[in-house]
Amino acid sequence: MATKTINETTNAFQGAEAVAPSQPAAAAQKWQPVIAAFICNWCTYAGADMAGTTRRVYPATVRPLRVPCTGRIDPLLVVKAFEQGADGVIVSGCHPGDCHYVQGNMVARRRFAALRALLEFLGLDVRRLHFAWVSASEGMKWSHLVGEVTAAVREAGPFQGWGASGEPHRVPVSLPEPPAPPRGTPRPEDQQATAEHLQRLAAKLLDEGLVTTVIGYAAGSLPPQMVPAFATCADDARTLGWNEHCVNNLAVYLPAAQRQGGKTAIVAKQCDARSVVGLLQENQVKRESVVLIGVSCPGVVVDGKLALKCYSCDGEAASVCDWTVTPEGAQPGAQNSGARRAVAADPREALIGFLEALPAADRWAYWQRQFAHCLRCYGCRAVCPLCYCSVCIAEKNRPQWIPVTIDAKGNMTWNVIRALHLAGRCGSCEECTRVCPAGVRLDLINHRLAMEIEKRFGYHSGDDPGAAPPLVTFRPDDAGEFVR
Amino acid sequence: MDSLRDPLGWRLNDEGVARWLEELLRAGKRVIAPVENDGLRLFQAVDSPAQVCLVSGKTRWSPKEFLFPRTEPLFSYAVESDTVRLDEGPAEIQEQVLFAVRPCDSAGLTRLDAVFTGGEVDPLYAARRERTTVVTLACPEAEPECFCTAVGGSPRGEEGSDLQLVAAEQGWLLRPLTVKGERLTAPLGEWAERATEEAWERAREALQRVEESIRESTVARGWAAVLEGSFGLPVWETLGRRCLGCGICTYVCPSCSCFDVNDRGDARCGERCRSWDSCTFALFTRHATGHNPRPTQASRYRQRVLHKFAYYPQLHGGEFMCVGCGRCVKLCPVGMSIQESVRTAVAAAQEVGDAQR
Amino acid sequence: MLSVDHGRTPFLPRLARVVSAHDETPDVRTLRLELLEQAAERLHWEPGQFAEYSVFGTGECVFTLANSPTRSEYVECTLRAVGKVTTGMAALVVGQVVGLRGPYGNRFPVEQWRGRDLVFVGGGIGMAALRAPLQFVLDKRADYGEIVVLNGARSVADLVYKDEMKEWQASDGVRVVRTVDPGGETAEWDGEVGLLPDVFGRLGFKPDGRVVIVCGPPIMLHYMFQALEKDGFAPDQVVTTMENKMKCGLGLCGRCNIGRFLVCRDGPVFTWAQVQTLPKDF
């Protein structure tokens, strides 16, 4: 049976919109969908106005929310609409090429694609979310659009709510076990050799004053744990180690190191280096302040098993690195280690495929159960190198965008927004998933978005420090097939 | 103990325990026990004994949320023309049994008792606590992160517990520790035999071995004052350096109890709720003016350690707030070890003390 | 059923109406509130205690009860709009209903001050924390010795309680000294110019039995304590209030923890001697 969520007293206190308890049946018959429509001032709002002046008849279900441009529509607005009880949402603006601000809708088009892909992956009934280009002269289109959307939302029924688990009889979904890893444990002598070369390199960088700190890994208090270690002198460098338990993404320490000044070296696996590339792209780290010590990595072990991200990785040092350390030695630049490591298909894609093959309602139930466990510890945010905002959206309180309450509703908003904030930026280091005490499959969410971005815009994050992030650029011919 | 009718308790096999739980469920009690779903073992309300998972290993986090929920509405408000209507809402507090709680987690409950009922009594917590009967499961084995013995606890500790369940040959031994616990054994029928002193003796020997398997050296009670004296030392900069400022340690901890109070709703209607919060978060002590008494992550890390090992003990006869479950050490993204930090800070403070003499 | 009285949880506020709002400075406002059930049950408090004020939908915030309990027909608070709740409070209009719960915290030990000379030193909005004990001793004037009020602010515009200061100056045996930071004076300014600790030093008070009550921003307290030490004041002759961020006010939520203290339960009034025993966590 479905596991109940921990806190169930919320509905007792819903405010003025709540149905009067004395008339439930009658209210159900008269249910009118509430559809929030985020529409741009210059085109769709004017078009909706025209629908009125030309006396077009269409359902009175829409609450228009006027914005200057679709480019201003933060996905958070759509997410909040659902959180606050909208049964459906329409997002509409000028046709591409006709934007009053020239290109706002072009950037928006990319953002909407990510938003839609994510919400669909989470199991939101796609009959509830609609995108359209409606110009100022298309009063007729507007009235038809509202009619179609209203019909679709009626079919979908009243939205149970962001964080409601839907039909309680649904059998909980369990993800299938991933396939066996493509390779066994690495040779201890190789690890030891790499560690020694690393120690010598670190000591050299520190002794020669090339860096003020080397951030690497050292033994933690619970063997075989390896934890981040900060070496500021050659003696410290001797404590640095290397093995398959070096899981942390040390790039998380770079934005603060940049602010402190001086030069910092970090040991960077290929996945970690993708985060560094992201930080470089976004000007959070200056290239000259960081020395990247790439390392030939056979894959890391999490909970006794090879991490899923490592299945498809060849373990070579990323091309952006200043040094490469392998069992053979430490060489300047990004060198190929020569080890032909067995790689396999990324198992996350199969898991994503499994979820996408499920009916949306089952998928929704799966994610609701996941988010019900979320503790809002913000471990995911804390370990992520790209969550560097000095004031996180969750910390803003005027207004309090992300509910503080640790319930399924607030958790859903938080996790959705975080995923969208990372869209096109996440390097898939999976640290968020490793640290989550509730076992939320954040890796699948982030990877699904990465897949969408790659499919639509041909962009793979973490490759090129000079590339423009995909969600702040656009191409005039970006696909917009999901927009009416 | 003298007021207990059957202090030696009973001997049960697996079916006997299951039957007892069934009786409790049938009597309308909410039974909360470790349940395993998708590799995540957590305390959850169960419908049947079959869902209970008693294999070794603690749950991912403590069962404190059944006494101190993650989020809890305090009252609702609705602004009317000339006044505001406040409503505390119905009191939905059910009788509940926390089953198979580890001794560290039940010791954590006594720390929460001190916070929530030791001074100003929190009636929400107090009502739940009164309606909760705790059945502890003595630990069949210690996990690598466990250090309860170092802070005055034990795998067979009885703090905060009403009944103790211990694995024994051919099943289980169950004995009441409080009158409340004894009441819970009322449904035990002919399938439960009286336990013998010998059976308990053998069980205790096994538990003694578990206790000895925890190799952590003791954190001395006298260290609380020395630890507070380490406050201004630079050792905290080093100790706190890799802390990332998440709240994992706080939220999985059996004894952490800090919370935030917020209004959820709008100017017209809504509710005031309290939710878990953590001193490790940057905003915890930040004033609206921007002034923050704990402006660095190192200072925030120091606060958590000192609160557990220095400040709380000063107010509670030297007892540490930390119960040694080790979850914070195991689940910390960067492997911070609280007891190691205590030892390092104490050593640094003693060194300074020695230098000054 | 429930044996624990689940009646009013301590989080449930009483209701109060805003009866007047007075702008002390462009960003500091004093609100006067009257409890809705005043006739039935007045609020009883001691000088130094604080209350939790609610703007429903926005949140709840701690302010000192800024008037003396000798004038308990109303409750006042003085606030600066810096954050979410204070901005909400500053925007309240007369007639609006807010929440009020309290009083909480400890009090100024006013009975220990009988017969002694008192110096109230308030920096900026810190003056609000001194207003209740000051009004109290003025309302029981005969019980106390000489009273000096030393109030400083960044500039003339930032001085609070401008009218009341004149009233206080006019009271028997009360001396009011106002100062603004160098550069904060206007052409018409006839008070002192200088930082509070410097002006205090200039006034040359002898410690002998005098009690000094100091409230203000942390940096001001720090320098005031230095000045007091230089003038020979003993740490238990100096009283202050701690301004830590507080949430529940009940000693439950843990936010105001400093060392072994909870400011809401063990404070907010502390002697300088007590403050010295605390970790520098404020």
The shortest CB-CB distance from B123 to any of C5, C59, C86 is to C5
Same domain, A433 and A353: yes
When divided into structural domains, chain C yields a total of 2
Residue A173: inside a domain: no
Residue C50: inside a domain: yes
- And the tokens for C266? 């063990």
Partners of residue C83 in chain A, C-beta under 8 Å: 397
Q: How confident is the model at residue C2 (pLDDT cuts 50, 70, 90)?
A: very low
Does the beta carbon of A174 lie under 8 angstroms from any beta carbon of chain B? yes
Range of the domain at A320: 188-332
Nearest CA distance, B72 vs chain C (angstrom): 12
Same domain, A197 and A327: yes
Partners of residue B232 in chain C, C-beta under 8 Å: 279-280
Q: Identify the pLDDT of residue A8.
A: 36
Residues with Cβ within 8 Å of C163's Cβ and at least 6 positions away in sequence, in order, are: none
Question: How far is Cα A387 from Cα B76, in angstroms, rounded to an integer?
Answer: 34
Phi/psi for C30 (5° steps) reads -110, 130
Nearest CA distance, C109 vs chain B (angstrom): 22
Which of A333-337, A367-371, A379-383, B186-190 is predicted most confidently?
Answer: A379-383
Q: How confident is the model at residue A12 (pLDDT cuts 50, 70, 90)?
A: very low
Same domain, C186 and C211: yes
Q: Identify the pLDDT of residue A29.
A: 57
DSSP character string of B29-72: -EEEEEEEETTEEEEEE-SSGGG---SSS--SS-GGGGTS-SEE
Q: How confident is the model at residue A17 (pLDDT cuts 50, 70, 90)?
A: very low
Average pLDDT over residues A444-457: 97
- List residues in chain A touching C: CB distance below 8 A: 397-398
Q: How far is CA B168 from CA B5, B138, B181, in A?
A: 22, 11, 20
Residue of B nearest to C84 (CA): B288
Nearest CA distance, C84 vs chain A (angstrom): 6
Nearest CA distance, B118 vs chain A (angstrom): 26
For the cut 70, the answer to whether the pLDDT of residue A472 exceeds it is yes
Range of the domain at C50: 14-104
Average pLDDT over residues B62-73: 96
| Cβ contact B244–A252 (<8 Å) | yes
Partners of residue A397 in chain C, C-beta under 8 Å: 83-84
The shortest CB-CB distance from B119 to any of C6, C13, C251 is to C251
pLDDT tens track for C193-227: 999 999 999 999 999 899 999 999 888 998 999 99
Question: How far is Cα A114 from Cα A456, in angstroms, rounded to an integer?
Answer: 10
For the cut 80, the answer to whether the pLDDT of residue B105 exceeds it is yes
Same domain, C120 and C206: yes
Q: Identify the pLDDT of residue A16.
A: 29
Same domain, A411 and A457: yes
Residue of A nearest to C87 (CA): A398
Same domain, A195 and A288: yes
CA atoms within 13 A of residue B121's CA, in its CB half-sphere: 11
Same domain, A321 and A359: no
Q: Partners for C (CB, 8 Å, 3+ pairs)?
A: A, B
Give the gyration radius of chain A's Cα atoms.
Answer: 25
Residue A113: inside a domain: yes
Nearest CA distance, B11 vs chain A (angstrom): 31
H or E stretch at B260: strand B259-265
Average pLDDT over residues A46-59: 96
Q: Identify the pLDDT of residue C6.
A: 42
pLDDT tens track for A151-203: 999 999 999 878 776 555 567 788 999 999 998 888 999 999 999 999 999 99
Same domain, C122 and C202: yes
When divided into structural domains, chain A yields a total of 3
Nearest CA distance, A436 vs chain B (angstrom): 8
For the entire predicted model, the pTM comes to 0.94
Does the beta carbon of A389 lie under 8 angstroms from any beta carbon of chain B? no
Which of the residue ranges A182-186, A301-305, A396-400, C174-178 would you say has the lowest mean pLDDT?
A182-186
Q: How far is CA B318 from CA A37, B153, B224, B274, B309, in A?
A: 60, 13, 7, 30, 9
The shortest CB-CB distance from B288 to any of C60, C86, C279 is to C86
Does the beta carbon of A305 lie under 8 angstroms from any beta carbon of chain B? no
For the cut 80, the answer to whether the pLDDT of residue A340 exceeds it is no
Nearest CA distance, C253 vs chain B (angstrom): 5
Residue of C nearest to B268 (CA): C57
Same domain, C58 and C118: no
What are the residue ranges of helices labelled H in chain B? 14-26, 103-117, 123-130, 179-184, 197-213, 223-229, 235-239, 248-252, 297-306, 312-315, 327-331, 338-356
For the cut 70, the answer to whether the pLDDT of residue A320 exceeds it is yes
| Cβ contact B84–C248 (<8 Å) | no
| Cβ-based contacts under 8 A for chains A and B | 140
Q: Identify the pLDDT of residue B252.
A: 98
> How does the average pLDDT of chain B come out, rounded?
94
Tokens 């603690």 sit on residue: B58
What proportion of chain A, given as a percentage, has pLDDT over 70?
93
Same domain, A306 and A367: no
H or E stretch at C189: none
Residue A451: inside a domain: yes
Q: Identify the pLDDT of residue A186.
A: 87
Look up the CATH number of the domain holding residue C52: 2.40.30.10
**Closest C-alpha to C211, from C115, C281, C95, C143:** C115
Nearest CA distance, B335 vs chain C (angstrom): 25
What proportion of chain A, given as a percentage, has pLDDT over 90?
86
For the cut 70, the answer to whether the pLDDT of residue A348 exceeds it is yes
Residue of C nearest to B116 (CA): C252
pLDDT tens track for B126-161: 999 999 999 999 999 999 999 999 999 999 999 999
Residue A457: inside a domain: yes
Same domain, C146 and C178: yes
Does the beta carbon of C193 lie under 8 angstroms from any beta carbon of chain B? no
Partners of residue A375 in chain B, C-beta under 8 Å: 61, 70, 247-248, 251-252, 276
| Cβ-based contacts under 8 A for chains A and C | 4
Partners of residue A300 in chain B, C-beta under 8 Å: none
Q: Identify the pLDDT of residue A341.
A: 83
Same domain, A356 and A451: yes
Q: How confident is the model at residue A5 (pLDDT cuts 50, 70, 90)?
A: very low
Among C72, C104, C136, the domain-final residue is: C104
Does the beta carbon of C154 lie under 8 angstroms from any beta carbon of chain B? no
User: Which of the pair, B320 or A12, is modelled with greater confidence?
Assistant: B320
Buried b (16+ CB within 10 A) or exposed e, B105-143: bbbbbbbbbbbbbeebebbbbbbbbebbbbbbbbbeebb
Q: How confident is the model at residue B81 (pLDDT cuts 50, 70, 90)?
A: confident
| Cβ contact C56–B270 (<8 Å) | yes
Average pLDDT over residues A414-432: 97
Q: Identify the pLDDT of residue A184.
A: 80
pLDDT tens track for A74-122: 999 999 999 999 999 999 999 999 999 999 999 999 999 999 999 999 9
Average pLDDT over residues A133-152: 97
8 A C-beta contact, residue A315 and residue A341: yes
B 248-287 → A contacts, CB under 8 A: 248, 250-252, 260, 262, 264-266, 268-271, 273, 275-276, 278, 281-283
Partners of residue B273 in chain A, C-beta under 8 Å: 404-405
Q: Identify the pLDDT of residue A4.
A: 32
Q: How confident is the model at residue A51 (pLDDT cuts 50, 70, 90)?
A: very high
Same domain, C44 and C153: no
Q: Identify the pLDDT of residue A170.
A: 64
Partners of residue A1 in chain B, C-beta under 8 Å: 47
pLDDT tens track for C43-67: 999 999 999 999 999 999 999 999 9
Tokens 């500021």 sit on residue: A232
- And the tokens for A434? 């490793």
Same domain, C20 and C63: yes
For the cut 90, the answer to whether the pLDDT of residue B169 exceeds it is no
pLDDT tens track for C143-167: 999 999 999 999 999 999 999 999 9
Top residue of A9, A217, A221, A391 to mutate, by most chain B CBs within 10 Å, is: A221
Average pLDDT over residues C22-47: 91
Say which DSSP state A180 is in.
P
What proportion of chain C, given as a percentage, has pLDDT over 90?
90
**Closest C-alpha to A344, from A200, A477, A178:** A178
Q: Identify the pLDDT of residue A481.
A: 96
Same domain, C125 and C67: no
Same domain, A269 and A244: yes
Same domain, A295 and A202: yes
Which of the residue ranges A301-310, A352-361, A389-398, C217-226 would you say has the lowest mean pLDDT?
C217-226
Residue of C nearest to A396 (CA): C84
Strand extents, DSSP E, A106-261: 129-133, 213-219, 226-231
Same domain, C67 and C117: no
Average pLDDT over residues A413-434: 97
C 57-96 → B contacts, CB under 8 A: 57-60, 82-86
Partners of residue C87 in chain A, C-beta under 8 Å: 398
| Cβ contact C282–B130 (<8 Å) | no
Question: How far is Cα A195 from Cα A208, in angstroms, rounded to an integer?
Answer: 20
Q: Identify the pLDDT of residue B189.
A: 83
Same domain, A406 and A374: yes
| Cβ contact B330–A222 (<8 Å) | yes
Residue A374: inside a domain: yes
Residue A481: inside a domain: no
| Cβ-based contacts under 8 A for chains B and C | 143
Average pLDDT over residues C247-275: 95
Which residue ranges make up each domain of chain B? Answer: 10-213, 223-356
Question: How far is Cα C48 from Cα C105, in angstroms, rounded to an integer?
Answer: 8
Look up the CATH number of the domain holding residue C228: 3.40.50.80
DSSP character string of B187-204: T--TTSEEP-HHHHHHHH
Same domain, A215 and A306: yes
Same domain, C211 and C120: yes
Look up the CATH number of the domain holding residue A70: 3.40.50.960
Residue A20: inside a domain: no
Q: How confident is the model at residue A335 (pLDDT cuts 50, 70, 90)?
A: confident
| Cβ contact A378–B250 (<8 Å) | no
For the cut 90, the answer to whether the pLDDT of residue C3 exceeds it is no
Residue A478: inside a domain: no
pLDDT tens track for B269-308: 999 999 999 999 999 999 998 999 999 999 999 999 999 9
**CA quadruple A151, A154, A156, A159: dihedral positive or negative?**
positive
Q: Identify the pLDDT of residue B87.
A: 93
Residue of C nearest to A398 (CA): C84
Report strand pairing: C192-193 vs A62-67.
unpaired
